[in-house]
Amino acid sequence: MVLSLSSQNVIRYLQEAGLCSSEDGATNESELPDRTKNLNLIVSLEDNRKLLVKQEVSNHHDGTPQEFFKEWLFHQLLQQFPVIGNISAIASLLLHYDEENSILVRKYLSDYEQLGHFYQKTDIFADEIATAIGTTLAGLHRATFNGREYRDFMNTAPAGQFRYHFYNPAQGIESITPEIFAQVPTQALQFYQLYQRYESLESAIADLAYEWNPCCLTHNDLKLNNILVHSRWQQLDNCLIRLIDWEACGWGDPAFDLGTLLASYLEIWLSSLVVDPTLQLEESLHLAVTPLEVIQPSILALIRGYLNAFPVILEYRSDFILRVVQFVGLGLIHQIQDKIKNRQDFDNTDICMMSVAKNLLTMPEQGILTVFGISESEILKPVAKVHKLPQPEREKQLVRLYYEKTRLRGC
């Protein structure tokens, strides 16, 4: 990285890049906090336009493709394939990519706010918003489903670097080494102890990774804060939401996108638990400040919006709903990991989240009721009325022609 951006030199950089001029009256408005590793600066222009300037502080020089390159590649994909680019909610906002200095510049949408902040501020979980998200995500997955041209395009690597054919984000916790005692606080070690305690949990995650079947373009980091909602969403028929931050996108499994997103919805419920050593887990879950029953209608509207727009996925994967539920559990575990890495914290709320995640991963059939509040057949019923869905093949009732246990002659 040659240039290190700051609030002092960002306007000069934009002028030299041809993104604004001295007549634009550009001013550095604020610096946005980033939970990970990026510098985010907002620059205001005279004509009420705003630019978001991002710089990846920890630039890669170890042969790993930069994350910003993926977002630039996604931008190029939308330009080359209008079928995808015409999906307004995912339209690219990118204006400039500087690979040498790991800098991205994109339009800043002043009329939108992060969905996570919106839910936290208003406590409104509108079905219209959730349906728009499900429909948009399904549109992306459906448009690129089994499309070799899109897959090959997304396999492009930065010059002089190598990219694995497919990246599988369905991973559990990396191998635990002695170095971890220096990396995380003592209280956070309990998370790793809990993870290792349950063989069924590690086995379920290993099965998810083994059965990973990439078939379309996926976002791969679809959390509530990577979705924007318009300030006038109640008056709009379209453009209610925007999906942003495509730095992790790639060729992947659509169930992973849905599971990661729904995990963010469950996190609203789980982070509001009333946790006390005297309370059992079930009591804590039912005493949440934001009850699960308040969030479930949005979760249900989202999955139904998705399936109505992309019913073919149920023919491709008859166990699609079960896999989504398991990826919800994996998403919760990833959230705990991120919290430990960023805030160096692990508390009783996280223990409850870990327990819910384990149940979703190891018992997805029961987990469907936890996540959606209704059974799988009830989820699919409205979809089946519009689309003829494949029926699961019933096991044939055959009379056994052998003994349950082998019996030796003469015994």
- d(CA 257, CA 222) in angstroms, rounded, equals 6
SS3 call for 19? coil
How high is the pLDDT of residue 194? 82
Is this structure's pTM higher than 0.85? yes
How high is the pLDDT of residue 64? 43
How high is the pLDDT of residue 193? 80
How high is the pLDDT of residue 307? 97
What backbone torsions phi and psi does residue 86 show, to the nearest 5 degrees? Answer: -80, -5
Please check whether the domain covering 1-108 is classified as CATH 3.30.200.20: yes
How high is the pLDDT of residue 287? 84
Angle made by CA atoms 55, 165, 314, in degrees to the nearest 5: 100
Listed in order, the ranges of the chain carrying CATH 3.30.200.20 are 1-108
Q: Are 281 and 292 in contact (CB under 8 A)?
A: no
At 344, list the tokens: 């160096």
Q: Where are the beta strands (DSSP E) in 92-198?
A: 94-98, 103-107, 112-114
Listed in order, the ranges of the chain carrying CATH 3.90.1200.10 are 112-386
Structural domain 112-386, CATH architecture: Alpha-Beta Complex (3.90)
Surface-to-core class of residue 322, CB atoms within 10 Å of its CB (0-12 exposed, 13-18 middle, 19+ buried)? middle
- d(CA 246, CA 261) in angstroms, rounded, equals 14
- Closest listed residue to residue 369, CA positions, set 293, 304, 294: 293
How high is the pLDDT of residue 186? 74
Q: Are 229 and 300 in contact (CB under 8 A)?
A: no
Q: Which residues of the chain have pLDDT under 70?
A: 1, 24-25, 28-37, 58-66, 157-166, 174-182, 344, 390-411
Hey, what amino acid is at 361?
L
At 385, list the tokens: 């009325």
HEC-encoded secondary structure of the chain: CCCCCCCCCHHHHHHHCCCCCHHHCCEEEEEECCCCCEEEEEEECCCCCEEEEEEECCCCCCCCCCHHHHHHHHHHHHHHCHHHHCCHHHCCCEEEEECCCCEEEEECCCCEEEHHHHHHHHCCCCHHHHHHHHHHHHHHHHHHCCCHHHHHHHCCCCCCCCCCCCCCCCCCCCCCCCCHHHHCCHHHHHHHHHHHHCHHHHHHHHHHHHCCCCCEEECCCCCHHHEEEECCHHHCCCCCEEECCCCCCEEECHHHHHHHHHHHHHHHHHCCCCCCCCCCHHHHHHCCCCCHHHHHHHHHHHHHHHHHHCCCHHHHCCCHHHHHHHHHHHHHHHHHHHHHHHHCCCCHHHHHHHHHHHHHHHCHHHHHHHHHCCCHHHHHHHHHHHCCCCCCCCCCCCCCCCCCCCCCCCC
Helices (H) and strands (E) in the chain, counts: 17, 10
- Closest listed residue to residue 369, CA positions, set 318, 310, 316, 299: 299
